[in-house]
Amino acid sequence: MVGGKKKTKICDKVSHEEDRISQLPEPLISEILFHLSTKDSVRTSALSTKWRYLWQSVPGLDLDPYASSNTNTIVSFVESFFDSHRDSWIRKLRLDLGYHHDKYDLMSWIDAATTRRIQHLDVHCFHDNKIPLSIYTCTTLVHLRLRWAVLTNPEFVSLPCLKIMHFENVSYPNETTLQKLISGSPVLEELILFSTMYPKGNVLQLRSDTLKRLDINEFIDVVIYAPLLQCLRAKMYSTKNFQIISSGFPAKLDIDFVNTGGRYQKKKVIEDILIDISRVRDLVISSNTWKEFFLYSKSRPLLQFRYISHLNARFYISDLEMLPTLLESCPKLESLILVMSSFNPS
């Protein structure tokens, strides 16, 4: 056509990259989904027809009470998960029961997990949920985390693979229950005890030939025999809450005082802690703790921590005047991590 313009086709320059994840072998995709929450894993079913059922092969369940507002839906989902894994193993089970804990059959779910060779169990209960006896003889369990659970007193404990035990606000029927759990875990490497309801007036006798890391945030006293212990983290509320009787001493110490407003023998506590600090190479210390040491040492010779080579100090800006004294007390210091905060609750 005279005077007409030749139409040109404009190519779409946006390149669509190939979906390489979908081309991965299904076992590898299942491993990727294993590290997501169950809610996010199920969402991948909308990606394509190939992904529609892949989440069902994931050997783990990670649920919280807000995954659905309908408790019956959650119960049905959990039970169908166990049914689909009747003849296979389950690597991870994380359940946060929330306020609707009375709607769930926790004991049967944990029983089902132990018969399916569970490795990682993380349960957030709600005050009165008891843990079934099957958990004490689970031969495949590697990592056990319980929050607000009630333990029973087992006659026998055998946890041959358990390496990590993490208890928060857990209740024990008597002082021997926790000791049985520790002694029945021959490869235990990490133990975390946070505000557990341990019988008042009792001292926890902690004996482990394999324990490497210990975290106690407790109102109880712990006597520690752990010759391989490498790191001890302790939060003290009134008195020094630990005593190490094994010949060795952990290379790393992380300590913190918490001011509860009560009266206690500060001088004796400080002297005991200073002796412990003088034996470690790696120290993590808070501003409040160092302030107690700083005030204690004002009328005494300069404190000397001759073995400390690594220091991690958490200081409030208002307490920076104490930092030079701390550095002078560590003549062999090689590395320093200083965490500053402008807010001082005191």
Residue 161 pLDDT exceeds 70: yes
Question: What does the pLDDT look like over 47-66, one tens digit per residue?
Answer: 777 787 778 778 888 887 66
Question: What does the pLDDT look like over 268-302, one tens digit per residue?
Answer: 888 888 889 999 999 999 888 888 888 888 778 87
pLDDT at residue 70 in the model: 75
Q: Residue 44 — very low, low, confident or very high, per pLDDT cuts 50/70/90? A: confident
Q: Residue 191 — very low, low, confident or very high, per pLDDT cuts 50/70/90? A: very high
Residue 40 pLDDT exceeds 70: yes
Question: To the nearest whole number, what is the mean pLDDT of the chain?
Answer: 84
Residues 248-269, mean pLDDT to the nearest whole number:
75
Tokens 């009747």 sit at which residue?
86
Using DSSP's 3-state secondary structure scheme, residue 164 falls into strand
CA within 13 Å, CB half, 151? 29
Secondary structure letter of residue 252 according to DSSP: E
Q: What single letter denotes the amino acid at residue 111?
A: D
Residue 2 pLDDT exceeds 60: no
Secondary structure letter of residue 303 according to DSSP: P
Q: In what order do the strands lie in the sheet with 282-286?
A: 60-63, 92-96, 120-130, 143-150, 164-168, 190-194, 213-217, 231-236, 252-257, 282-286, 310-316, 335-341
Share of the chain above pLDDT 70, in %: 85
Question: What does the pLDDT look like over 95-135, one tens digit per residue?
Answer: 887 666 566 788 999 999 999 999 999 999 876 788 999 99
CA triple 186-192-196, angle to 5 deg: 110
